[in-house]
Amino acid sequence: MMIACCIPMLAIAIVLVATGVVGVGFIFVAVACTAMMALMMRGMNHGGEDHQGMDHGGMDHGGARPIDGPPHQTHGRPDVR
């Protein structure tokens, strides 16, 4: 996913700098964005086969669970019981 997002961005940044539309500093912004994306991917354990990032094994991705309501719901005005 990182390659699908960042490589086109870097290519567009290089083309814009080469045509003179933006300054050279725009390349640094694009490279910084790519570096941040790489760090996030590594932190979420999507950066490769080595599993040194966060452990998502205990997360439940199977769907939504119902949320329990408050234990004592009062219907109507709270001062009338």
The number of domains in the chain is: 1
Can you give the residue range of the structural domain that contains 38?
8-43
Domain assignment present for 58: no
Domain assignment present for 29: yes
Question: pLDDT digit string (tens) for 59-81?
Answer: 555 555 666 666 666 666 666 65
Domain assignment present for 23: yes
Domain assignment present for 13: yes
Question: pLDDT digit string (tens) for 3-13?
Answer: 788 889 999 99
Question: pLDDT digit string (tens) for 14-51?
Answer: 999 999 999 999 999 999 999 998 888 888 876 555 55
Domain assignment present for 37: yes
Q: Is 30 exposed, middle or buried (0-12, 13-18, 19+ CB in 10 A)?
A: buried
Q: Is 37 exposed, middle or buried (0-12, 13-18, 19+ CB in 10 A)?
A: middle
Domain assignment present for 30: yes
pLDDT value of residue 74: 61
